[in-house]
Structure 1
Amino acid sequence: MYKNFCKYFGVNHKAINSTVKNISSSMHGLEELQKAFGGQSFSKGLYRIHTPDGAEKWNSIVTEAFPEFRRRIICFGYDWLGRQFALDNQRVENGQQRVLMFEPGTGEVLEIPCNIVQFHEEEIPEYTDSCLASEAFKEWISKNPNEIKISEYVGYKTMLFLGGEDIIQNLEKGDMDVYWSICSQLIHKTKGLPEGRVIKNLGIYE
């Protein structure tokens, strides 16, 4: 399992056998992923995988921003932009939960039509830019060569839903917890506003 993922990122493949008996069969591949790669970063921070404790922490953070997903998701990974990937227990096909991507900088949630094994074995190796914005990452890392730490993100200085531009010049590196906290407040404060609405005097609390 995850041989293509290992080959793509140039890491040694480890044969991991499942030992947790009560894990849902609809989450096949989650335990193996966490045991083999939990807490690890790939390609200077392009993609990172949560530990089980990290997953619990980020389930809470993500559903604070997107409360309609409470008791519905399990986060398993995140990319350099701070976008969180999770399993969705309300979208099950062929007995396997499908993947969601939570984008704090736009306030959007994207449904990815694959399970966790397919995401790592097929989607990331074959469609890296679509999954992880790898071309923008290459541009960023060419100008900012230091590896993005496990707790860091590269996100928008001005959020897209506040009128920011989707360009490299509108990106900065920072603490991912703080970024998600700020984005969560902005998502709630701007939810339901018509597109193009000018926002003034928006208070943010840390």
Structure 2
Amino acid sequence: MAKIAIILWVFIYAGSKRDATPYLKPFKKLHYVLKQNENAPYTQITNIIESGLDSILCAPNQTHITTTTGLQVFNVTAQRQIYDLFNSKIAEHPELSGTRVTTEAYSVQGVTKNKGRKSSFSQRDEYILTYFGATNPQDFGLEDYAIQWAKETRDLWNAGQPGRRPTTYLNYAMGDEPLEAMYGYDGQLGRLRRLKRRYDPHNRFQYHNPIVPPNAY
């Protein structure tokens, strides 16, 4: 039987089910295979969405091929292309059917109200966070295949917002992105490097997409 992508929506609302109903009403018109509603303490949310420390996603001794870009709006055409790409890839290599393509949207009120060049954090115009993740493709000899799939997905996301420079959420970065995409195009990288020289003069923190290369000083 051919495998196809499963579309999964997760809505989290800080309040009662009754108060959340008006916001979820449009989505109830969609046809769905399964629906779950539940109340949960804040500390359990990551486990419910399968991103907690005990989830498969966070299990130790795994290799993840990841990539990301920041978006301002959902581009329907791009999202459909990414969906079709997913199905074509897992039809060719069903070993990678556990791959995730995720978009995350959070409240951005606090982030957007502090815009300006004085901030060292650059990504205050990103309203939607994306994530592509293929787990352990090397087990099937498909690491290069997964990397190419990740890049194609990222290209589609970026093509859906022409005129914007690509941005990269540091934790989801593939590692081939320019540092400016991670830390900012408008001088933020220089400010961060000056702060680093002040507070980390021996460059101890240099292992994950570092703003200063190892052994730079």
- State the TM bucket, normalised to the shorter chain: under 0.3
Q: TM-score, normalised by structure 1?
A: 0.24
For CA contacts below 8 A with separation 6 or more, give which structure has more relative contact order.
Answer: 2
Higher strand share: 1
TM-score of the superposition, structure 2-length normalised?
A: 0.23
User: For the pair shown, which has the larger CA radius of gyration, 1 or 2?
Assistant: 2
